[in-house]
Amino acid sequence: METIWQSAFAVAVWPGLLGGAALGFFYLWVARKLSARLQGRRGPPFLQPFFDFVKLLGKETVISSGVNPAPFYALPYIALASTVFGLVIVPVPGHTVESFAGDIILLLYLLEVPVICDVMAGYVSQSIYGQVSAMREALMTLAYNLPLLAAVIAMSQNAGSFRIGTLQSAPTGLVTVLAAIAFLVAIPARLKSNPFSIPNAEQEIVAGAHIEYNGAPLAIFELSHALEVVLLFDTFLVLFVPHFRNQLADTALYFGISLSLMVLVTLAAATTARLTVKRAFRFYWVWGGLAAAAAMVVAIVG
């Protein structure tokens, strides 16, 4: 009975839905505020992402004729559910999980589900812009997953295990630094921020894969994006940041490093312009591939 209540708490409150949403909305606010300050603007108020979410929930939903309503309504909830369960299997301050063999692989799958939902949402919408966006997003997964997956594989090779618990307590060394660089390179494309905002390129293909979405389904997509940010940072933290087994130090590291990752991503977004698909692809397969290869070589040889 005890464990059921604990699991329910983890899914609903921390680190699941409520806590994850609060943290995700905070990071999204940091991104908007910081890019506004960098452009010489004052930026949105603190609760802006939350207000946007509530407002969208309270709107009516319009579906174009010819769109199948079942996948249209289901996709945002599938994306949300997968990110919530991803958050629950990762140990964070205030939440310990029994690590099992292969849980890092499960985490990678859960990280990928929202992307697949986005791609399908683009095709389901029957909008030509949504379809262009879906195609671009599918292409980008092939690009950024090379350094991202290589970083995870190098760390697993180094630790000799696919368990999150073992990975977290593995000693840090040269391979950690190289794999962390490869993972860092992949983050902006995974979050669809500049210079890799190729799938959701506004002004270019209108509004990305969510173009036909409105009202509550759009709100759920926004929420799942906020949770995705948290989940991606959590993954970075368990893989590359040493664990001190000291409550205070670990909590400080958790929030400090997540926040600095968001600041880094925003700095990159505010100072660059969008690349073309071809150039982004080349960037990931040359520079991302180089970082990935270096991490793999050090992991296997060293």
Between 42 and 245, whose beta carbon lies closer to other proteins? 42
Q: What one-character DSSP code corresponds to residue 196?
A: S
Q: Where are the alpha helices (DSSP H) in 125-245?
A: 128-159, 164-169, 174-190, 215-240
> 44 and 93 in contact (C-beta within 8 Å)?
no
270 near other proteins (CB under 8 A):
no
Q: How far apart are CA 38 and CA 43, in angstroms?
A: 10
44 near other proteins (CB under 8 A):
yes
The SS3 assignment for 78 reads helix
CB of 30 to other proteins, least distance (A): 14
Q: Which residue of 132, 182, 211, 262 would you call a contact of other proteins, by CB under 8 A?
A: 211
Give the interface segment with other proteins, choosing from 11-19, 56-64, 112-120, 265-273 (CB under 8 A).
Answer: 56-64
Interface mask toward other proteins for 213-252; x: CB under 8 A: xxx--x----------------------------------
51 near other proteins (CB under 8 A):
yes
63's tokens: 């579906």
Between 37 and 279, whose beta carbon lies closer to other proteins? 37
Between 212 and 228, whose beta carbon lies closer to other proteins? 212
Is the peptide bond prior to 195 cis by the omega test (within 30 degrees of 0)?
Answer: yes
Residue 92, strand partner residues: 95
For 230-259, b where at least 16 C-beta lie within 10 A, e where not — what string?
Answer: bbbbbbbbbbbbebeeeeeebeebbeeebe
161 near other proteins (CB under 8 A):
no
Would residue 102 be called left, alpha or beta, if left means φ above 0 and alpha means ψ between -120 and 50 degrees?
left
CB of 231 to other proteins, least distance (A): 25
Q: Which residue of 202, 247, 252, 271 would you call a contact of other proteins, by CB under 8 A?
A: 202
Interface contacts to other proteins, rule CB under 8 A: 32, 36, 39-45, 47-48, 50-55, 57-62, 202-203, 206-207, 210-215, 218
